[in-house]
């Protein structure tokens, strides 16, 4: 039991190496370049979908690695889950109104 | 008697590391609570911006063509540059915390100073961007803009509101980061107690995340 809690502690308290941060940054910069290039290609309705998928990927990299949520306690993931779910509900309810109003 | 003293000193020796361990545990617990508080605050910030994103997406759906036309006028190159600047500032922020945690105070200070500098670069680029648009006669309520379609007026209204609110967050973030820099220099934030710097970093990263979503919505409608 003590061993388990100790492993958990060390996972949380261990600083992430510079290399991982730089790797994530390179990923973020490449995704920005990709999204800027892709925006020039006409993918009709998919243009915004592709742009948002890339934005979500970038955001999840920042949240998980830079904000260290990946290494945090479960409670922080629960927070994010609840907020994400709330936003999903608000957006779906609003759009179900907008789509079917006319 | 001497045995008793010896026993006492032995127990003292044992209890002293125990005590310091519970002290560390206390700092860690406090740090965890501080972080939970910070995250709750960040969630309210997220909801604030989410409301604006919701308004944007509904109007974009209703005025698709106008949003497209208006979106062609924003400076994609400056937007891309600012995205790179903010992402890099997030990297230096994370590196500053990592450096402090390994006891490298000077390195941490220089990374934090770089973050602050990049934040200023972001604001300067933003200044030139807004200036060129305002000089072109496009600002909320301007005669040029009011002659355009409703969708374009809405697009630029949202553009100024959302990037403006984001800009205010950058300024607030910079103020907090400057404060943290002073605290590190005065040894109020150390490698054993760095939760303040961590929380300031969380705020800075949130500002970055908001921009990650603003960027494709205002600059990449080509």
What are the extents of the domains in chain A? 2-71, 73-102
- Would the CB atoms of A16 and B216 count as touching at under 8 Å? no
Task: Give pLDDT, residue B19.
Answer: 42
Residue pLDDT, tens place only, B168-182: 999 999 999 999 999
Interface test with B, best of A6, A8, A23, A25 (most B CBs within 10 A): A25
pLDDT higher than 90, residue B118? yes
pLDDT higher than 80, residue A69? yes
Q: Is this prediction's pTM over 0.90?
A: no
DSSP state of B77: H
Task: Give pLDDT, residue B220.
Answer: 86
User: Does A51 contact B at CB distance below 8 Å?
Assistant: yes
Residues 152-211 of B with CB under 8 A from A: 201-202, 205, 208-209
pLDDT higher than 60, residue B82? yes
User: Does B46 contact A at CB distance below 8 Å?
Assistant: yes
CB B33 within 8 Å of CB B40: no
Task: Give pLDDT, residue B21.
Answer: 47
Residue B153's CB is within 10 A of a number of other CB atoms, namely 19
Topology classification of domain B45-219:
1.20.120
Q: Which of A81-85, B27-31, B121-125 bottoms out in mean pLDDT, i.e. has the lowest?
A: B27-31
pLDDT higher than 80, residue A71? yes
What are the extents of the domains in chain B? 45-219
Task: Give pLDDT, residue A79.
Answer: 85
**How far away is chain B from the Cα of A74, in angstroms, using its nearest Cα?**
11
User: Does A32 contact B at CB distance below 8 Å?
Assistant: yes
């Amino acid at each position: 039991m003590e061993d388990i809690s100790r492993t958990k502690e060390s996972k949380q308290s261990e600083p992430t190496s510079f290399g991982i941060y730089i790797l994530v940054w390179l990923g973020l910069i490449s995704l920005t370049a990709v999204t800027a290039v892709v925006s020039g290609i006409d993918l009709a309705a998919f243009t915004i979908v592709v742009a948002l998928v890339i934005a979500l990927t970038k955001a999840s990299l920042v949240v998980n690695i830079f904000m260290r949520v990946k290494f945090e306690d479960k409670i922080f993931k629960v927070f994010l889950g609840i907020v994400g779910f709330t936003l999903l509900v608000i957006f779906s309810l609003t759009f179900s109104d907008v789509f079917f109003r006319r | 008697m001497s045995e008793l003293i010896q026993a006492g000193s032995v127990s003292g020796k044992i209890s002293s590391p125990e005590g310091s361990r519970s002290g560390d545990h206390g700092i860690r617990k406090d740090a965890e609570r501080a972080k939970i508080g910070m995250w709750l605050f960040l969630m309210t910030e997220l909801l604030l911006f989410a409301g604006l994103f919701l308004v944007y997406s509904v109007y974009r759906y209703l005025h698709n063509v106008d949003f497209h036309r208006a979106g062609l006028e924003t400076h994609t190159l400056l937007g891309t540059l600012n995205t790179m600047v903010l992402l890099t500032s997030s990297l230096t922020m994370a590196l500053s915390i990592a450096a402090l945690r390994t006891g490298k105070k000077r390195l941490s200070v220089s990374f934090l100073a770089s973050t602050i500098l990049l934040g200023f670069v972001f604001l300067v680029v933003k200044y030139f961007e807004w200036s060129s648009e305002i000089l072109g006669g496009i600002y909320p309520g301007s005669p040029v803009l009011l002659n355009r379609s409703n969708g374009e007026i809405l697009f630029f209204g949202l553009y100024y509101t959302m990037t403006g609110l984001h800009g205010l967050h950058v300024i607030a973030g910079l103020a907090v980061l400057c404060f943290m820099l002073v605290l590190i220099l005065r040894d109020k934030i150390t490698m054993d107690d760095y939760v303040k710097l961590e929380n300031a970093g969380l705020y800075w990263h949130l500002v970055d995340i908001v921009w990650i979503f603003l960027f494709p919505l205002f600059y990449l409608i080509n």
